[in-house]
């Protein structure tokens, strides 16, 4: 993408940002095929105002600057950008690309002014399926045909609207950590980015390790990110071998702290500002042996739950409240040991006891009955669930796995449900 440099700003850290201009056409034609797959970005989200971006283009209105990070050591001497990622402006870019592709579709299919005599319903019946293949819809097609008819211009002339100037803020060679922090700041004024996605960003370096280890232990292993599926959707649709990256992070945090944690603004801020007093310990544990122990444990627990409880067990482990409760309890129990190897032995012991016991120690069917009996008007069901799981698992370990967990006690019979863990 050929750009014109308008201004430059240097931060104290010597990071440089350039204000540049180019054209929409130059930008769209320079987009890499995987422009939507940048790990730190959330996925494409619905937004009514952005969906009307076609009107902004057709009236030659202003589109706010798009922020890019460039991986090119000779920039700005070489002002022809060859490789970049989108820090801010993915949603706008996606819709610009869809509008551009719709114009190309009109030209390629030879759709002329006569098509505008068709109403939206007729256009939808004829073109909806093919438009959806590249993310477009009948409304965009209708508006483009309308402007073409009103201005008496050929579809080819619609391309001229992409000759308009567009501003870009271009950061050069930011470190991965700085990219994440810049992106979080840039998104602060937008639709709230989910806390789970923010939490994921700090531990993206774990993804390839987790995937490699998971695939080594199970052919069914699949790790989902928040940008791919929401927590609620994952819980409903979860199948054997499938795990959720944000839940994995919060579970590991719970293990390290030996308590249940809550994915909230406070947690994200502590991690972002290095305020978490146990973060150094957490980072110490993020080595291959520890990750192997965690993934192996999850896969083995998954097998037991499905074997003993079928679909109920399959869905049980998909809930974050269950996962952090289990890992918090195991983490607390393992604190009696000093070495990582010894702390990991708690996973092995737990699985061995579940496999060799003649009773269904986790008692998941009763768990569901007890949880469904909670008075939602009086209890914070999420907090109560996490604490109940934590105490149920803790009791199981302390009693040397002698009897199934009494979930009714922890959910219903406990007079004071505000215990600290």
CA distance linking residue 391 with residue 371, whole number of Å: 14
2: its two tokens = 């050929």
- By C-alpha distance, which of 158, 165, 150, 136 is closest to 58? 158
Model pTM score: 0.57
CA distance linking residue 180 with residue 42, whole number of Å: 12
155: its two tokens = 């579809």
pLDDT score of 415: 46
pLDDT digits (tens, 9 = 90+) for 344-385: 999 999 999 999 998 899 999 899 888 888 776 666 788 889
In this predicted structure, the answer to whether residue 320 has a pLDDT above a threshold of 70 is: yes
CA distance linking residue 25 with residue 2, whole number of Å: 11
Q: Is 415 exposed, middle or buried (0-12, 13-18, 19+ CB in 10 A)?
A: exposed
What 8-state DSSP symbol labels residue 72?
-
Q: Return the ∠ at Cα 37 (arms to 202 and 237), rounded to 5°.
A: 80
Mean pLDDT within 57-68: 89
52 SS3 class: coil
pLDDT digits (tens, 9 = 90+) for 216-264: 999 999 999 877 888 889 999 999 999 998 898 889 889 988 998 876 6
Q: Is 153 exposed, middle or buried (0-12, 13-18, 19+ CB in 10 A)?
A: middle
335 backbone φψ class: left, alpha, beta (φ>0; ψ -120 to 50): alpha
- b/e map of 32-48 (b: 16 or more CB within 10 Å)? eeebbebebbbebeeee
159: its two tokens = 């391309």
pLDDT score of 188: 46
pLDDT score of 354: 94
Query: What are the domain boundaries of the chain?
Result: 4-177, 194-413
pLDDT digits (tens, 9 = 90+) for 199-222: 566 566 677 888 889 999 999 999
φ/ψ (deg, to 5) at 71? -110, 75
Mean pLDDT within 295-301: 95
Residues with Cβ < 8 Å from 347, sequence gap 6 or more?
293, 294, 296, 297, 330
pLDDT digits (tens, 9 = 90+) for 137-166: 888 888 888 888 888 788 888 899 999 999
248: its two tokens = 């994995």
């Amino acid at each position: 993408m050929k750009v014109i440099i308008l201004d430059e700003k240097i931060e104290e850290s010597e990071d440089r940002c350039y204000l540049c201009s180019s054209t929409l056409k130059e930008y769209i034609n320079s987009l890499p095929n995987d422009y939507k797959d940048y790990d730190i970005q959330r996925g494409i989200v619905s937004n009514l105002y952005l969906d009307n971006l076609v009107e902004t283009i057709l009236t030659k209105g202003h589109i706010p600057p798009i922020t890019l990070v460039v991986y090119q050591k000779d920039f700005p001497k070489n002002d022809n950008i060859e490789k970049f990622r989108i820090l801010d402006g993915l949603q706008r870019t996606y819709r610009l690309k869809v509008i551009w592709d719709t114009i190309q579709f009109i030209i390629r299919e030879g759709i002329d002014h006569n098509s505008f005599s068709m109403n939206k319903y007729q256009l939808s019946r004829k073109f909806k399926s093919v438009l959806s293949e590249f993310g477009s819809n009948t409304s965009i097609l209708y508006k483009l045909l309308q402007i073409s008819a009103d201005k008496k211009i050929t579809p080819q002339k619609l391309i001229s609207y992409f000759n308009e100037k567009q501003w870009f803020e271009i950061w050069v060679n930011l470190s991965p950590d700085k990219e994440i922090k810049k992106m979080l700041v840039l998104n602060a004024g937008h639709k709230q980015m989910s806390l789970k996605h923010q939490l994921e960003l700090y531990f993206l370096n774990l993804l390839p390790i987790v995937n490699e280890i998971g695939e080594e232990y199970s052919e069914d292993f699949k790790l989902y990110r928040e940008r791919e599926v929401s927590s609620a959707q994952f819980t409903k649709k979860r199948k054997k071998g499938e795990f959720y990256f944000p839940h994995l992070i919060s579970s590991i945090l719970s293990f390290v702290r030996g308590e249940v944690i809550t994915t909230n603004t406070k947690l994200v801020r502590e991690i972002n500002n290095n305020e978490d007093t146990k973060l150094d310990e957490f980072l110490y544990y993020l080595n291959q042996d520890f990750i192997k122990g965690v993934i192996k444990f999850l896969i083995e627990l998954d097998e037991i739950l499905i074997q003993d409880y079928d679909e109920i067990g399959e869905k049980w482990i998909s809930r974050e409240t269950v996962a952090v409760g289990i890992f918090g309890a195991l983490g607390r129990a393992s604190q009696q040991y000093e070495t990582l190897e010894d702390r990991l032995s708690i996973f092995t012991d737990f699985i061995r006891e579940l496999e060799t016991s003649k009773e269904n120690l986790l008692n998941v069917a009763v768990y569901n009955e007890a949880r469904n009996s909670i008075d939602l008007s009086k209890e914070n069901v999420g907090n109560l669930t996490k604490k109940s799981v934590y105490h149920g698992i803790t009791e199981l370990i302390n009693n040397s796995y002698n009897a199934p967990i009494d979930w009714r006690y922890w959910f219903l019979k406990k007079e004071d449900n505000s215990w600290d863990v």
